[in-house]
Every structure is written in C-alpha cells, then in structure tokens.
Chains A and B, each alone.
Chain A
Amino acid sequence: MPVAAHIPIASSGSFLITPNVGLMIWVLVVFIVVFLVLRKWVFPLIGQALDARALTISSDIDAAEKLRIDADAVLAEYRQRLVEARAQADEIISRARVAGDAHQKEAIETARAERERLLEQTRRDVEAETRRAIDEIRSEVAALTVLATEKVTRKVLTGEDHKRLVEEALRELDFSALGGGDN
C-alpha cells in the first residue's frame, strides 16, 4: 500500500493555536447579549413554571395523602358496617326461621282444628238428615197402614183408630238400619 511519505497536516497550522481576536470580541459580545436576555426574560419564566409545578405536585401529594387517610377511614367504617350488616342479616334470618317454624306449626294446628270442625259439622248434618228421613218414612208408613186397614176392614177409621194403628205399625218396624244402628 503506497502510504504517503509525508502528510502536510499542519504546514500552516499555527493559526489553529493563535486566538483570533476578532472572533474573541464577537464571542464575548454575543455571549453577554445572550446571557443578559436569558437572565432577564427566559430563566425567570422557566424557574417560575418549575416552582409552580413543584408547588402543585407538593399540594397534590398532600391532597392525595389526605384522600388516602379519608379513604382508609371510609373503608374502616364500611368494613365495620359490613360486619354489623352481616350480624343483622344473620339475626334476621334466624328470626325469620323461628317465625316461619311457628307460623308453620300454627297453620298445621289451624288446619287440623278446621278439619275436626268440618268433620263434626258433617256428622251433625248427616244425623239431622237421617232423622228427617226417618220421620218421613214414619209418616209414609202410617198413611199406608191406615189405607190398608180401611181396605181390609171396609170401614172408615176414626182419629183414635188412626193413632193406635200407626203406633202399632211403627212399633213393628225396625228403623235401626236407616239410623246407622243408632235408632
């Protein structure tokens, strides 16, 4: 590789280390202008904005802390209420269960009494109907007896005869079957 025998890097490079006075003055003037402008109009604005944000963040942190404390209190209260509500609910359930049992027992007793009452009523009705039926049969038998006797004896019977004949006929009849064995 033909590398150059010499490389004229700084044959006239003294200007590199010689300060250019004109440029120094330019830099000084421009820098001072920039410095004065920034100090007067820019840095205060940025500083105020950062201070305001720091203040906001600080108050936000305080507010968040207060909120957290409030939230903790609310949560504790809520938990307490939840425990109370659970206890109340358990009590209500147990009372409802007791009341339900009592109600059920009462309903059963009522139903049983009603059934007994209805049975008794039915029994009485049946007895009354039976009695009425027996009385009707008795009347019918008496009438038939009188009629039959008149035809056999060919004479008109008096009231005394009627009464005697009916009583005799009824004495001979057995109504025990109609009355269920009771008569």
Chain B
Amino acid sequence: MSAITAPTDTRPPGAPAPAGQADKPAGKAGKAGMSTMKKVLLGLGGSYLLGLVFFIAVFGFKPHKSLQVLHNTFTPTDEFKLSTWFSAGPIDFNKGVLYVLIAAVLTLWILFYVAKRLKQRPGRLQTAVEMFYGLTESMTNDSLHDNKLQKKYFPLIATLFIFILVSNMIGYIPLPIDTLEKFKVFGAHIPSFQIYAADTNVAFPLILSLLVFCLFTWERLKAQHGPIGFLKSLMPSGITGPIKPLIFVIEILSYFLRLISLTVRLWANLLAGHMLIAFMGGELGVLVGDPWVQWLLLPIGLAIFAFEAVLIAGLQAFIFSILTAIYLGDAVSSH
C-alpha cells in the first residue's frame, strides 16, 4: 500500500483527498424527501464520477509513470520483504517480528482484561471472548472424545485460534512500518504506512503448522504403539490386492501434505488478500502510470479490504484451529 504514494505522487497540490471528495457533495446531494442513505449513496457515486472526470481531465490517458516504475526498480511485492531493522546477535528484528509481538501483546491484553473482569452479566467484549472460548471448546470436544485429551489440547487449539485471529486482524490496520519507502515530516524520514500481517510471510504459518504436525504425529505414534502401527493406521480398511501399495503411497503423501495444506491455506489467503488490496487500492494505477486507473479501482480495493477484514481474517483462524483439532482427533482415533 505504501507504494501508492511513494513512487509517484500524481495528485496535484490542493487536489481534494478521496474521502473529502466523497463527503462534501454527499451533504448537498439529494432532494427533499430522499432518505439519508440514498443521499449518501448519491453523493458518493457523484463524487466518484466527478473524481474520475477530474483525473482524466487533468492527466488524460497519457501514462505518468514514476521513475522507479520506468527503471523497473519498483516491485509491488517488495512491501512484503522483511528488511532487518536491527540485530541482537543472531536474532534479527524486522516488521514481521514487530507484528508477532504486537499480536502476542494484544492477545494477552484482551484475554487478561476480560478474564480479570468477568461478570455474571457480560458486556460485549466478554461476550465475544466467551463465544471464542465456547467455539474452540466445542470444536475440541467434537474432535477429541477422550476427556483427558480434550483438557490437554483445548488450550493449544484456543491459543492458535486467538493468536492467528489477532495476527490477521492487526494486518488490516495501516502502520508506519514500510522502511523501504519513507516520507518526510518536518525533515524526519517516517516509514510509509502499510497494511501488513506477519502471516503474509510463509514462516509464520509454517512454524505453527510444523508444531501442529509434530503434535498430531506424536499422538498417532503413541496411539498406534510405534512406527509400524503408525504406518498401518494410515491405510484405509478393506483395501486388498495390488492397489494396496498405491493407496499406501497416496495416504503417506496426503498425510505429509497436511503440513503443506495447513501452511499454504493460511499464508496464501493472507498474502493474496493483502496483495489484492494493495493492487486495487492503487498499486496497479502506479504501475500503469494512470491516476484515473487508481481512482477507478479504489472502490474495488475498499470492498476487498472489507471482505478480507470481516470474513477472511476470522475464517482462516477458524479453519487452522479446527483442522488442528480434526488432525489430533484423527491421530488418536485411527485404527
């Protein structure tokens, strides 16, 4: 997102900001008797069309590519690069680490805040936390039928859910963390604002998936009393004949692909979502050099942003944690 303004600022000085443009006519638009919603929609639509006409009139259809684009030095994916801010021995600190730490602090703060103020009649935040607790508890109990295992793995599944959810949600808040692109404020070089999530880097989901994979493999080994039983348990019952080795290979592959699927599902969804928001929110316009393209695609970018923030963030956290529960349940109940 930072690349929208960083490579080239095609908007002339004094040009109204998109939000300002959208707001002003919204108040004047409409006639007596129109509902407020209709007036606002008409105002926004009118502003959008006016903005489009404005950018075409001022800049025309001639591309205004920035030097970085012309010299092929602007790469939209660079905003997902983890540049080291500082190192403490072998430990690097970058924006990915910052987001992981923010997610951890926020997760702990929210849950501690609620846990220390639990009331008989819950407020909104307590209700949300209780819903999360109930959801993860029921998904654990549905997958793991042994009471001991439920108690053992519920904290892990619940922590996975809330930690990934918070990581995803903070990924939609623009923060000044893009150190590759900076802007000046009173002479100070401030990193550009960017929406970034730690799980857009494959390392985040991969390590969590590895953790889950190791755990359910360990549980299966325990449940099947060793590697032989483990391998036998992967074979579906009732298969005989020459197809057996083929099925065995497929089952082994599918077992190990769980690691890949867990990782890629979360990572690709988050990365693709952030890239789509960035592209539709302006980067495509920067690449083609047409300010009107930026303006044209902005509503699509906003719609994708809303879709990702409202649906995908929670859905991916839910899928990751429920798959963990299912894999663990499968590990202890397979024969």
Distance in angstroms from A95 CB to nearest chain B CB is 58
* Contact residues, A1-36 vs B (CB, 8 A): 1-4, 7-13, 15-28, 30-31, 33-35
Q: Are B130 and A46 in contact (CB under 8 A)?
A: yes
Q: Which residue on B lies nearest to A52, using beta carbons?
A: B120
The verdict on A8 contacting B75 (CB below 8 Å), with A19-B203, A23-B100, A38-B108 known, is yes
| B114 contacts A by Cβ under 8 Å | yes
Q: Chain B's interface: helix, strand, loop or mixed, by majority?
A: helix
| B23 contacts A by Cβ under 8 Å | no
The verdict on A41 contacting B115 (CB below 8 Å), with A7-B287, A20-B82 known, is yes
The verdict on A50 contacting B75 (CB below 8 Å), with A19-B203, A41-B112, A45-B118 known, is no
Distance in angstroms from A17 CB to nearest chain B CB is 6
* Cβ-defined partner of B203 (8 Å) among A20, A31, A37, A49: A20
Q: Chain A's interface: helix, strand, loop or mixed, by majority?
A: helix
Q: Which residue on B lies nearest to A18, using beta carbons?
A: B202
| A56 contacts B by Cβ under 8 Å | yes
Q: Are B133 and A50 in contact (CB under 8 A)?
A: yes
* Contact residues, B87-131 vs A (CB, 8 A): 90-92, 94, 96-97, 100-101, 103-104, 107-108, 111-112, 114-116, 118, 120, 129-130
Digit string of B8-38 for contact with A (CB within 8 Å is 1, else 0)? Answer: 0000000000000000000000000000000
The verdict on A17 contacting B118 (CB below 8 Å), with A8-B75, A23-B94, A50-B133 known, is no
Chain B: interface residue total (CB-CB under 8 A): 56
* Cβ-defined partner of B120 (8 Å) among A25, A39, A53: A53
| B-chain residues with CB within 8 Å of residue A3 when the two chains form the complex | 288
The verdict on A19 contacting B202 (CB below 8 Å), with A41-B115, A43-B155 known, is yes
Q: What's the Cα separation between A25 and B100 when bound, in Å? A: 11
8 nearest CB pairs, A to B: A39-B155, A23-B203, A49-B118, A24-B207, A45-B115, A35-B159, A19-B203, A24-B203
A: which residues have CB within 8 A of B?
1-4, 7-13, 15-28, 30-31, 33-35, 37-39, 41-43, 45-47, 49-50, 53, 56
Pick 11 A–B contacts, CB within 8 A, sort by A: A8-B74, A9-B76, A12-B78, A16-B77, A24-B203, A26-B100, A27-B204, A38-B162, A49-B118, A50-B133, A56-B120
